[in-house]
Amino acid sequence: MPEMGGREIAARVVDCCPNVKVLYMSGYAGLAISHLGILERGITLLQKPFTPSTMAAKVREVLDAPNPA
């Protein structure tokens, strides 16, 4: 995204709507993301490529998770 990254967009949305659920999606390797410090604790990541059923399960996981304090 040319103007801002997903983390910044999510932060802005959460500032406006604190109870919103966020699911990150990335084509980068999950371990590389966490080692680079990009993935913070409590963040849910859907790794590309994924199947529709994998996406549905991950969305359900995020929706069912308790809201952060």
Per-residue model confidence (pLDDT) at position 43: 81
Per-residue model confidence (pLDDT) at position 2: 77
**Alpha carbon of 54 to those of 19, 20, 47, 48, 67: distances in Å?**
24, 21, 10, 10, 22
H/E stretch holding 25 reads strand 23-26
How do residues 2-18 score in pLDDT, each as one tens digit?
A: 788 888 998 999 999 99
How do residues 31-69 score in pLDDT, each as one tens digit?
A: 555 545 555 667 888 888 999 999 999 999 999 998 765
Per-residue model confidence (pLDDT) at position 59: 96
The whole-angstrom separation of Cα 60 and Cα 20 is 14
